[in-house]
A and B are shown apart, each in its own frame.
Chain A
């Protein structure tokens, strides 16, 4: 019992928070309710008017009076039509408006959250929050609230008109209502269970089909056709059974509703007929009651429907608000410091870090990249190279120690101030769907097309872009799948370059390029690093041997640091060993020339 009252409190809280998003439209909601009141009145007054028509004009052969009533009826009908259309559209309109702002708010919140949040939550789930969970509120927000009120108005007016004509007949005709309520209640309970079962069976069937379409080669290779067919037939018959069960409930329910409604009519005609003989009830009243009894059933059905809608909407809004309530772990400081002028001096000072509590990815990492310097990081997968970049960009915060930019701890800077110093080229060459130019500027209006073309020329990306249909406005399909790896990489380079950053970060940026484009990419790389502080992570030693400083990482620690020359000179050094392996025939002589 305690739990349910708690649940109710939670539900109330959810509704209160949902109201926040409806608030801008609250006067429209009020208008909607007023319109509903009007529609309900005009809809329910028509049987009353027919009663008047029959009793007062048709019975007395008053053709003019009848005409007058018919005019009123037409007026009520058209009035109801206009109000209904306007009102339905109005409620849909503010419903969609609310959903729109809610959807944007959820997207904004998720996007603003720390990177770690994305590690922990599968992308699919986040998409669900921004799409289908919002959609689940659609019914509640666009039809729900106003319709619930409308249904209640309708019931009220019907009862009012019925009682005003004959309270006795009213009581007689609504005496079947308890049966209707009970039948509806029973049906809803049964159908909900059986629909859950159907949904389960559909999911099973569909995922079986999906799986077998994808794995058909395996089925055929292993000659399993017969057995899988058998399995399918058994799942398929489970599905059929589940549906046939729901058919049964519907087959009982719909006729039952009809029977109950007609039963009410039979009562009206029997009792009312008797009353008519006593002159207490007129034929017009009988006519009106037959119509009211039919009208009465609609809003009652509607109300029981809406109750379900409300429940599923609450479940979705709970999930939505739990995202909106997620605290952001990486935030701007209360009083951000201004970044001192400078070309970009990076300092890692005794940095410790782990993605989870019980593991350490970086141990006591310290190094300095002076303005304009190129620092290369070498090491095996998992040595902690990318983590250094994650910390520098403040995707994560260090556990211990400090990362400084131009002498200021990056946690004291505004995030946008910090990040505007960098341009990042990632391993996976992230491209978006959209035109090439948009992929380069990322929608930054400060970057002109002319600038983009000039930059692309500089690093020789212009040539291949020129050959694409539509050139710089060539639309990329599915994240650039139509381009080669090297081309995608070049676009990422142009992007980094037009942003003209103080600091350039290349995370294994050249690892996936085929040998043809490698030369172009290398040249682009060099051009890009000119005059900038650069942090370069690479597998290929060729791209890094000219770095001012090379850090060799191993299991989260910096094991060797120095220039190429220094490290190659180190006996038994890791770097030296790697180097010898890679360039045992070709490059060594050229080194000799250089050092000579």
Chain B
């Protein structure tokens, strides 16, 4: 149970609150028990008054309640009852305000810890798990673990203390009757455990079927032309209806169990009450119990219903919380590979920008085949290098190794003749302006997105960067200009605008090395030409690595590497490569025609 101990550490910070909450809850249940006791007392008192003063007759109800020898007794009992009820209610309020609030605070801590870990984990982690898997751990699983600290804990204490007090009182009145009255309750617990487990498992199955339905709809709607072209509407309808029917059937199975749930609770509690009436009735006839005791017992049983049922539910919650916690713990114990280590040379504060790959091979985690094989290349400081090749040939993988998004599997990468593993990670990354292939902007303002990689950027810096990336004009056209929100809660930029914003985000860091991974693919060739024209002066003096599918983009590069299947197969200047009449010149010829087609 090592992992449970680890989880319980989160209790520590709030142990005072939680202890207090547990005391409140215990006290609340203590006062709750007074209610049936006082009910019984009133009935018994009334009976004894009746016996004593059977001759006395009352003329009106007001006289009885306010102006007779019986009225103080009645009033005292009623007031005590109200007092007990109020105290119990108040304490219950305090319980929720402490225990449940503490569970939310623990959840807060847990979420922060997980997010913090996610920030530190290397990209190899992100390629090992799907983003969906990570997402579930950071969201749903946390909510489930929260239930352990909140409801599960609270219900456990509640069940223990309430059942403790009530059963004690019951035993004091009549041990025999207690046994009889409690007889159906274990079944209640077991049943609740079974049902909540079944509902949970089956809900997952239903959720899957629900996704299948959505998937079918998605597939049909997105292929609507093909379906219409082949007159297959009826067939698609049939396929959809099959899934729809499967969903209905699965749902009905769950419904069957759910429709058993409340009636069965009702049945078991009712059985307990009937047993009380039968057994207590005979005991009353024997003279060992009073009618007040029957009343008392009926209320006891009612008060036990929920705690006993929740016991089954809680056990189930606990199991689920643990399963979620195991998944979270997996993330929390995942090693942070890429961080400064002992051999890091902390005296390195800047870099110049000469890049060298020495026999670099790389394999993605979990992958069998190498993505890069024995790469050797040198890019001098200030040089403009280009990497070309087919989709999937390894170009992006190659440049991702430079800022250590991944570490090489074999060989080494040197910057200024120093192994990049010896350079402090933040120094290395600070010196690189990386424009990734898939532009990723955050749901934030444009200014925030551009200034993403610098501390305290001035408005002027932001505007300059936007200017250099040729996106400033577009931004100024928006109503809120640089304060325009992007993403879900804001506007959507066009592909080209996004890419140029990402370029601005890289330029504002004034980096020694710039990596442009197919960064202008979303604009047409002419626009690209214009942007590059401007960029060139900006890139002057920086080491630049450009990946592109367009020959026009890279033909002026100092050196071009052609990557095929994870290896460099050709290298040289544009002219040299054309003369080779190999991969590069084939690609060049093909593009000439496509450009021509676009231009007519």
Residues of A within 8 A of B (CB): 43, 46, 50, 53-54, 57-59, 61, 63, 66-67, 69-70, 73-74, 77-78, 80-81, 84-85, 88-89, 92-93, 96-97, 99-100, 103-104, 107-108, 110-112, 115, 118, 123, 126-127, 130-131, 135, 142, 168, 205-207, 209-225, 228-229, 232-233, 236-237, 239-240, 243-244, 247-248, 250-252, 254-256, 258-259, 262-263, 265-267, 269-271, 273-278, 283-284, 286-287, 290-291, 294, 379-381, 393, 395, 415-416, 419-420, 422-424, 426, 430, 432-433, 442-444, 479, 495, 499, 539, 554, 574, 577-578, 581-582
**A46-B270, A115-B225, A442-B230 are known contacts. Are A262 and B85 too (CB-CB below 8 A)?**
yes
**B229 and A422 within 8 A (CB):** yes
Give the distance in Å from the alpha carbon of A243 to the alpha carbon of B143 in the complex: 12
Residues of B within 8 A of A223 (CB): 426, 429-430, 453
Instruction: Give 10 CB contacts A-B under 8 Å.
Output: A54-B294, A59-B291, A107-B241, A111-B224, A206-B139, A212-B119, A262-B35, A276-B46, A283-B47, A294-B302
Residues of A within 8 A of B220 (CB): 107, 111
Residues of B within 8 A of A66 (CB): 277-278, 281-282, 285
B342 at the interface (CB under 8 A from A): no
**B597 and A578 within 8 A (CB):** yes
**A216-B126, A244-B101 are known contacts. Are A221 and B432 too (CB-CB below 8 A)?**
yes
**A111-B227, A115-B225, A215-B440 are known contacts. Are A266 and B291 too (CB-CB below 8 A)?**
no
**A250 and B239 within 8 A (CB):** no
**A424 and B291 within 8 A (CB):** no
B160 at the interface (CB under 8 A from A): no
Residues of B within 8 A of A574 (CB): 600
A233 closest partner in B (C-beta): B112
Residues of B within 8 A of A393 (CB): 225, 228-229
- Main secondary structure, interface of A, reads helix
Which A-B residue pairs are the 6 nearest by beta carbons? A222-B453, A88-B259, A251-B96, A270-B78, A255-B89, A92-B255
Residue from A58, A89, A232, A286 with most neighbouring chain B CB atoms (10 Å): A58
Q: Mark B240-265, 1 if CB is under 8 A from A, else 0.
A: 11001101100110011011101110
B275 closest partner in A (C-beta): A70
**A96-B251, A127-B218 are known contacts. Are A262 and B235 too (CB-CB below 8 A)?**
no
**B267 and A88 within 8 A (CB):** no
Give the distance in Å from the alpha carbon of A211 to the alpha carbon of B490 in the complex: 15
B347 at the interface (CB under 8 A from A): no
**B252 and A218 within 8 A (CB):** no
**A225-B120, A420-B231 are known contacts. Are A70 and B278 too (CB-CB below 8 A)?**
yes
How distant is B526 from chain A, measured CB to nearest CB, in Å?
14
B172 at the interface (CB under 8 A from A): no
Give the distance in Å from the alpha carbon of A275 to the alpha carbon of B78 in the complex: 14
A203 closest partner in B (C-beta): B488
Give the distance in Å from the alpha carbon of A424 to the alpha carbon of B135 in the complex: 40
B298 at the interface (CB under 8 A from A): yes
B492 at the interface (CB under 8 A from A): no
**A88-B262, A111-B227, A248-B97 are known contacts. Are A443 and B238 too (CB-CB below 8 A)?**
yes
A90 closest partner in B (C-beta): B259
Give the distance in Å from the alpha carbon of A252 to the alpha carbon of B100 in the complex: 13
B226 at the interface (CB under 8 A from A): yes
**B75 and A270 within 8 A (CB):** yes
Give the distance in Å from the alpha carbon of A74 to the alpha carbon of B268 in the complex: 11
**A283 and B291 within 8 A (CB):** yes
**A499 and B230 within 8 A (CB):** yes
**A123-B222, A255-B90 are known contacts. Are A229 and B35 too (CB-CB below 8 A)?**
no
**A57 and B107 within 8 A (CB):** no
Give the distance in Å from the alpha carbon of A284 to the alpha carbon of B131 in the complex: 64
**A221-B432, A251-B93, A265-B35 are known contacts. Are A111 and B236 too (CB-CB below 8 A)?**
yes
Q: Mark B71-102, 1 if CB is under 8 A from A, else 0.
A: 10011011001100110111011011100110
Residues of A within 8 A of B403 (CB): 221
Give the distance in Å from the alpha carbon of A401 to the alpha carbon of B11 in the complex: 77
B181 at the interface (CB under 8 A from A): no
B405 at the interface (CB under 8 A from A): yes
Give the distance in Å from the alpha carbon of A467 to the alpha carbon of B271 in the complex: 66
**A273 and B43 within 8 A (CB):** yes
Which of A118, A142, A251, A539 is B597 in contact with, Cβ under 8 Å?
A: A539
Residues of B within 8 A of A126 (CB): 217, 221
How distant is B444 from chain A, measured CB to nearest CB, in Å?
9
Residues of B within 8 A of A247 (CB): 96-97, 100-101, 104
**A70-B274, A127-B214 are known contacts. Are A273 and B46 too (CB-CB below 8 A)?**
yes
Residues of A within 8 A of B232 (CB): 442-444
Residues of B within 8 A of A236 (CB): 108, 111-112, 115
- Known: A135-B210, A277-B50, A419-B228; 6 extra A-B contacts, CB below 8 A, are A77-B271, A215-B440, A248-B97, A251-B92, A270-B65, A443-B239
Residues of B within 8 A of A577 (CB): 596, 600
**A290 and B299 within 8 A (CB):** yes
B295 at the interface (CB under 8 A from A): yes
Give the distance in Å from the alpha carbon of A469 to the alpha carbon of B480 in the complex: 57
How distant is A413 from chain B, measured CB to nearest CB, in Å?
13
B13-51 interface with A by 8 A CB criterion: 35, 38-39, 42-43, 45-47, 49-50
Give the distance in Å from the alpha carbon of A232 to the alpha carbon of B110 in the complex: 12
Residues of B within 8 A of A89 (CB): 255-256, 259
**A97-B248, A443-B235 are known contacts. Are A277 and B115 too (CB-CB below 8 A)?**
no
**B108 and A237 within 8 A (CB):** yes
B219 at the interface (CB under 8 A from A): yes
**B104 and A274 within 8 A (CB):** no
A66 closest partner in B (C-beta): B281
**A270 and B214 within 8 A (CB):** no
Residues of A within 8 A of B47 (CB): 283
**A108 and B39 within 8 A (CB):** no
**A216-B126, A225-B119, A269-B81 are known contacts. Are A283 and B43 too (CB-CB below 8 A)?**
yes
Which of B230, B267, B277, B453 is A81 in contact with, Cβ under 8 Å?
A: B267
**A58-B285, A66-B282 are known contacts. Are A251 and B119 too (CB-CB below 8 A)?**
no
Which of B215, B247, B436 is A218 in contact with, Cβ under 8 Å?
A: B436
How distant is A100 from chain B, measured CB to nearest CB, in Å?
5
**B119 and A229 within 8 A (CB):** yes
B102-134 interface with A by 8 A CB criterion: 104-105, 107-108, 111-112, 115-116, 118-121, 123, 126, 131, 134
Which of A220, A248, A278, A499 is B61 in contact with, Cβ under 8 Å?
A: A278
Give the distance in Å from the alpha carbon of A77 to the alpha carbon of B266 in the complex: 8
Residues of B within 8 A of A270 (CB): 42, 65, 74-75, 77-78
B370 at the interface (CB under 8 A from A): no
B240 closest partner in A (C-beta): A107
B428-476 interface with A by 8 A CB criterion: 429-430, 432, 434, 436, 440, 442-443, 452-453
Residues of B within 8 A of A426 (CB): 225-226
Give the distance in Å from the alpha carbon of A81 to the alpha carbon of B267 in the complex: 6
How distant is B10 from chain A, measured CB to nearest CB, in Å?
14
Which of A53, A104, A221, A239 is B240 in contact with, Cβ under 8 Å?
A: A104
Give the distance in Å from the alpha carbon of A424 to the alpha carbon of B223 in the complex: 12
**B217 and A269 within 8 A (CB):** no
Residues of B within 8 A of A266 (CB): 78, 81-82, 85
**A80-B266, A247-B104 are known contacts. Are A290 and B39 too (CB-CB below 8 A)?**
yes
**A213 and B118 within 8 A (CB):** yes
Residue from A61, A123, A220, A426 with most neighbouring chain B CB atoms (10 Å): A220
Which of B95, B277, B429 is A222 in contact with, Cβ under 8 Å?
A: B429
B96 closest partner in A (C-beta): A251
Give the distance in Å from the alpha carbon of A267 to the alpha carbon of B240 in the complex: 59
How distant is A395 from chain B, measured CB to nearest CB, in Å?
6
